[in-house]
Homo-oligomer: A and B are copies of this chain.
Amino acid sequence: MDTELFAKLRKQHPLVVNYANFVTPQFVANGLNALGASPIMTLAQEEASELMTPADALVLNLGTINASDMPMVLALAKAATKLAKPIVLDPVAVGATAFRAAAAKRLLADFPIAVIRGNAGEIAFLAGIAAQAKGIDAGESATSPATIAQRCAERYNCTVVVSGKIDVVAQGHNLATVYNETPLLPAVVGSGDLLSSIIGAYAGIAEEAFDAALLGVVTLGVAGEAAASQLEATQGGTFAAVLLDTLATLDVERLNTQARYEEARRA
């Protein structure tokens, strides 16, 4: 795990352009801000290129994707690709509707997506594995998260994060499993959206997308556990605020001592 990236984020404040869903944008922006990144959200196709020029990364969240936003999403992805800025894709509820599936698959076909992050159901769908999905965040599959992540990573030749009680990060022959977790993270609508954007912030300053994804997962997991340790397991409302407080005080030492993960890399 490359905790140097954390120090670099605190120093450089990477600018993350977000195509955000309209449900959780403030939570995502506050989370990025608390961590030390610089968020910006846009709805204007005309400014795609100018926003991506100083930006370090692009995060495309499909939570409330719709036809009239698509030209802007494509313009952002095109600008990011031209400028070689990494793109993170959060395919929210991708298996639930043909429209979402078509949007995600078009983005995956036409642009070099660096990281895909979703729950097991969403990633299984993209990987072509049968799965069940209900609502925004749920998603179960008979296949193991590691297998789902690896197949999706292979299919789209990128880094893939499967979020859940255990998080898995896969890319080529690299595989990491992160055990930091708290039931309070899924209690907050938008915690997955925030994770995708945190991965985007790291990806914007990392050499390897896999490092960005792994550190992103550990960052939210460690901060989440630290925030949860001050609360009852049912205080999801209060937790959202305390999580932001905790992201602001996170440091390399806490990341190193409290991260619980396994990592297997092969050349």
Using a CB–CB cutoff of 8 Å, the interface residues on chain A facing chain B are 13, 15, 20-27, 29-30, 33-34, 38-47, 50-51, 54, 63-69, 72, 93, 96-100, 134-136, 138, 187-190, 232, 234-238, 240-245, 248-249
A26 touches B24 (CB 8 A): yes
Query: Closest 4 interchain pairs by CB?
Result: A237-B244, A38-B135, A47-B97, A237-B241
Other 15 A-B pairs with CB < 8 A, given A43-B66, A68-B68, A237-B248: A21-B41, A23-B29, A30-B237, A33-B236, A38-B135, A38-B136, A40-B135, A44-B99, A45-B66, A46-B99, A47-B99, A54-B134, A234-B248, A235-B248, A240-B241
Cα separation A248 to B233 with both chains bound (whole Å): 10
Chain B residues near A25 (CB-CB < 8 A):
22-24
A189 touches B237 (CB 8 A): no
Knowing A41-B22, A43-B66, say if A238 contacts B234 (CB, 8 Å). no
B187 touches A248 (CB 8 A): yes
27 inter-chain pairs at a CB distance below 8 angstroms, sorted by A residue, are: A13-B135, A15-B135, A20-B22, A22-B25, A22-B43, A23-B26, A23-B41, A24-B26, A26-B26, A30-B189, A33-B236, A34-B237, A39-B136, A39-B189, A40-B96, A46-B98, A46-B99, A47-B97, A47-B98, A47-B100, A50-B96, A50-B97, A50-B98, A50-B99, A236-B245, A237-B242, A237-B243
A236 touches B24 (CB 8 A): no
B97 touches A136 (CB 8 A): no
A245 touches B240 (CB 8 A): no
CB-nearest residue of chain B to A231: B245
B44 touches A97 (CB 8 A): yes
Cα separation A196 to B41 with both chains bound (whole Å): 19
Chain B residues near A40 (CB-CB < 8 A):
93, 96, 135-136
Chain B residues near A249 (CB-CB < 8 A):
234
B26 touches A135 (CB 8 A): no
A236 touches B244 (CB 8 A): yes
In the complex, what's the smallest C-beta–C-beta distance from A108 to chain B, in angstroms? 18
A39 touches B135 (CB 8 A): yes
Chain B residues near A42 (CB-CB < 8 A):
64, 66
B187 touches A34 (CB 8 A): yes
Cα separation A206 to B119 with both chains bound (whole Å): 30
Cα separation A244 to B235 with both chains bound (whole Å): 7
B248 touches A189 (CB 8 A): no
